[in-house]
């Protein structure tokens, strides 16, 4: 059985001090428990303080983005190697805010993904349609092409370490959640697309839902057969609401 995963995407929020307090509030609640697996994603400048705050607990820390080279003349960028050295174990790739606001393409996400995997960083690869695309009936096509484009050339044994997050763009930060049925339809489809390429191994791959996950809708979402947890934005910014979402994922 797949173990559930609950990830908190803190986006461009928290000072190092606030991040330490938030991470501590989560780490005290989680302790050594590994079901669900819990990961927090602070901004780069708060990674160190969050890493110190969760030390000795089962909470892992990851980054929200990385560059595809180890080092070089890339002003303003941070490499996977740097993140790994700091103590990060995960990285979010291809979040819709990066795709939309920073023009990241599937090809770029693919380059970053291959680098992350080669460095033993576990990636969370995000896919999801806009409202216009959903209204035009293109959801499954969009999700399929983002998925296959981002995973191009990634072998089966590395897919096992890759987490997929389905995040409909219209549900992110809007308070408008996909219904459990809408989300499950796409999650089931993602697993089918992956099964065609990778075979039975996809039964081990975690597919998270993201987009206005809150304490009051988490349990029903996480109860769907192909929803293996959540990538949580707004509701991950207080320990009180995030810990309730963690509780909703306990099996
Ligand atoms: P949200 O963000 O929970 O605030 O909708 C989710 C995400 O962007 O990962």
Q: What is the pLDDT of residue 155?
A: 96
Q: What is the pLDDT of residue 1?
A: 78
Pocket test for ligand 1, best of 8, 42, 211 (most atoms within 8 A of CB): 211
Beta-carbon contacts of 61 under 8 Å, excluding residues fewer than 6 positions away, are 23, 39, 40, 41, 42, 47, 50, 51, 54, 87, 88, 89, 90
pTM: 0.97
pLDDT tens digits, one per residue of 69-84:
999 999 999 999 999 9
184 is catalytic: no
Q: Which atom of ligand 1 is nearest to the CA of 126?
A: 9
Q: How far is the CA of 231 from the centre of ligand 1 (A)?
A: 7
Q: What is the pLDDT of residue 176?
A: 87
Per-residue confidence of the chain (251 residues) as pLDDT tens digits? 799 999 999 999 999 999 999 999 999 999 999 999 999 999 999 999 999 999 999 999 999 999 999 999 999 999 999 999 999 999 999 999 999 999 999 999 999 999 999 999 999 999 999 999 999 999 999 999 999 999 999 999 999 999 999 999 999 988 888 899 999 999 999 999 999 999 999 999 999 999 999 999 999 999 999 999 999 999 999 999 999 999 999 97
Beta-carbon contacts of 25 under 8 Å, excluding residues fewer than 6 positions away, are 238, 239, 240, 243
Residues with CB under 6 A from ligand 1: 9, 167, 172-173, 210-213, 231-235
What whole-number distance in Å separates Cα of residue 203 and Cα of residue 2?
8
Q: How far is the CA of 10 from the centre of ligand 1 (A)?
A: 9
Q: Which atom of ligand 1 is nearest to the CA of 97?
A: 8
pLDDT tens digits, one per residue of 78-124:
999 999 999 999 999 999 999 999 999 999 999 999 999 999 999 99
Q: What is the pLDDT of residue 173?
A: 87
95 is catalytic: yes
């Amino acid at each position: 059985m797949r173990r559930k995963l609950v990830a908190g995407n803190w986006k461009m929020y928290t000072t190092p001090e606030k991040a330490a307090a938030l991470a501590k509030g989560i780490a005290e609640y989680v302790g050594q428990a590994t079901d669900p697996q819990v990961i927090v994603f602070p901004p780069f400048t708060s990674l160190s303080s969050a890493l110190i705050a969760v030390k000795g607990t089962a909470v892992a820390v990851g980054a929200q983005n990385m560059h595809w080279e180890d080092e070089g003349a890339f002003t303003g960028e941070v490499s996977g190697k740097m993140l790994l050295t700091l103590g990060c174990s995960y990285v979010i790739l291809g979040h819709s805010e990066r795709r939309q606001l920073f023009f990241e393409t599937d090809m770029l996400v693919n380059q970053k993904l291959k680098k992350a995997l080669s460095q033993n960083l576990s990636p969370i690869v995000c896919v999801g349609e806009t409202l216009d695309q959903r209204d035009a009936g293109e959801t499954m096509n969009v999700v399929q092409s983002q998925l296959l484009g981002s995973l191009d050339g990634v072998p089966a044994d590395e897919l096992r370490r890759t987490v997929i997050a389905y995040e409909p763009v219209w549900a992110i930060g809007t308070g408008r959640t996909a219904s459990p049925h809408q989300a499950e339809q796409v999650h089931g489809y993602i697993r089918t697309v992956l099964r065609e390429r990778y075979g039975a191994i996809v039964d081990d791959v975690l597919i998270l839902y993201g987009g206005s996950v809150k304490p009051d809708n988490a349990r029903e979402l996480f109860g769907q057969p192909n929803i293996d947890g959540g990538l949580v934005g707004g509701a991950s910014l207080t320990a009180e609401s995030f810990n309730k979402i963690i509780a909703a994922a306990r099996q």
